[in-house]
Amino acid sequence: MNKKLVMATNNANKLREAREILAPLGIEVISQREAGADCEPEENGTTFAENAMIKAKAVYDIVKLPTIADDSGLCVNALDGRPGVYSARYAPKGQECQKLLEEMKDVPDDRRTASFQCTIAYIDENEVKTMNGGCIGRIGHEMRGTNGFGYDPVFMVGDRTMAELTADEKNAISHRGAALKALFDYLSTK
């Protein structure tokens, strides 16, 4: 497949991961800024899918090229699924892990399960589609590792945090990797 997609995001880490995951599949990802769309629409949906569609549509309406958007977040079972769609707004950037550890400090090990969730919205001139991916893990007791971004230093998969995985290891198991592979499968049928 040889295809170019615009990614409707202002998050450089998401863009990097999407490029890493899709490049080997023959899909080139350009940022919304590179495509000339300098916008940040209000994410006032209540689901990952709604917010992904809001972002994809805002950029598609400007660039009129096949566009994807990622809406994602961390759902913690002991917190009834929070921060969920509000993950980006849970704490000031860079402080989300400390805040989560503090909120979870009295939660015992057997109740620390969580998942990362990701919805990718895809829009082109004919079609609108969403694809989901998830990754199950647990919230650790301390921040570990320097790779990745956001909640990665406290999200444990096995005995390592996601921030201790290499980029390839993370992409192979991540919520974003799963949703983008589903997108690839979908695009392969078009």
Active site residues: 71
Footprint on residues 57-86 left by ligand ITT (CB under 6 A): 70-74
Q: Which two tokens stand for residue 1?
A: 């497949």
State whether the Cα torsion 178-9-166-137 is positive or negative.
negative
Q: Which is nearer to ligand ITT, 2 or 146 (CB)?
A: 146
Query: How many C-beta atoms lie closer than 10 Å to residue 142's C-beta?
Result: 9
Question: Minimal distance in Å, beta carbon 107 to ligand ITT?
Answer: 19
Q: Determine, following the binding rule CB under 6 A, whether residue 151 of this chain makes contact with ligand ITT.
A: yes
Region from 4-12, 22-30, 59-67, 98-106 binding ligand ITT, contact rule CB under 6 A: 4-12
**Which x/- pattern, by CB under 6 A, does the window 106-125 give for ligand ITT?**
----------x---------
Q: Which two tokens stand for residue 38?
A: 């300098």
β-sheet with 128-139: strand ranges across: 27-31, 3-7, 67-76, 113-123, 128-139, 155-157, 160-161
Contacts of 102 (CB under 8 A, 6+ apart): none
- Of 163, 160, 159, 135, which is closest to residue 151 (Cα–Cα)? 163
Question: Minimal distance in Å, beta carbon 2 to ligand ITT?
Answer: 25
Question: CA angle, corner 176, sides to 122 and 10, nearest 5?
Answer: 70
- The correct pick among 63, 65, 88, 173 for binding ligand ITT (CB under 6 A) is 88
Q: Determine, following the binding rule CB under 6 A, whether residue 96 of this chain makes contact with ligand ITT.
A: yes
Size of the site for ligand ITT (CB under 6 A): 22
Cα torsion 40, 185, 65, 172 to 10°: value is 40
Q: Determine, following the binding rule CB under 6 A, whether residue 43 of this chain makes contact with ligand ITT.
A: yes
Q: Determine, following the binding rule CB under 6 A, whether residue 174 of this chain makes contact with ligand ITT.
A: yes
- Rounded Cα distance between 31 and 49, Å, is 20
Q: Determine, following the binding rule CB under 6 A, whether residue 152 of this chain makes contact with ligand ITT.
A: yes
Q: Which is nearer to ligand ITT, 176 or 181 (CB)?
A: 176
Q: Determine, following the binding rule CB under 6 A, whether residue 164 of this chain makes contact with ligand ITT.
A: no
Q: Could you list the residues that contact ligand ITT (CB under 6 A)?
A: 9-11, 14, 43, 55, 70-74, 87-88, 96, 116, 148-152, 174, 176
